[in-house]
Amino acid sequence: MNQWNKVKKQDDIEMLMKAYGGFHDSCIKELNYVSGASVDDKKNMYFGAPNDRELHIIFQRQWDPITIELCFSGLRRMNLVGWESNYFCDIFDSYLSFDNDLITGLDDNLIVWADNANFDVKNVAGGSAIKEPMTSFVIANELKWRFISE
């Protein structure tokens, strides 16, 4: 426990999804974003490297292991759904995949996680209206994960 596991290939995705039951009946407990940017005591601004932009998400579920942490490095985009009328925040299934051609002009192999197994990453550029139910998702350069003992 508490050892980081890197997701570098499809087998790693399958291992994570099996280890945490596809995120079935889980919920997002908390998250923390660090941009890598900062200002020093002389007011010089530093922007950090792409993979300094890290998003940590802690999930919990009602059976063992209860708590898992995902760390997305090189965060490209995220959509976090907060309160929705007439919907609970529990996750029934999830999407986790490597996807290409998400950035115009680049053929990056990005990791995508979403709280809906039917998520279509190609449709994330849609309108800005809030239409429920919504999907939380993360697109990043890299992913690693670990179980946390509370």
C-alpha span between 17 and 95 (Å, rounded): 9
Of the listed ranges 28-32, 106-110, 133-137, the least confidently predicted one is: 133-137
For residue 22, is pLDDT > 70? Answer: yes
pLDDT at residue 126, rounded to an integer: 52
Q: What would the mean pLDDT of 98-118 be, rounded to a whole number? A: 86
What is the pLDDT averaged over residues 112-140? 76
Identify the three-state secondary structure at position 83.
coil
Is pLDDT of 27 > 80?
yes
Domain extent listing, the chain: 5-148
Quote the CA–CA distance of 28 and 20 in Å, as a whole number: 13
Q: Which pLDDT belongs to residue 82?
A: 72
The pLDDT-based confidence of 128 (bands split at 50, 70, 90) is: very low
Would you state the pLDDT for residue 86?
Answer: 56
Using pLDDT thresholds of 50, 70 and 90, give the confidence band for residue 5: very high
The DSSP call for residue 74 is: E
Please report, rounded to a whole number, the percentage of residues in the chain having pLDDT higher than 70. 88
Residue type, 38: S
For residues 86 and 142, the model is more confident at: 142
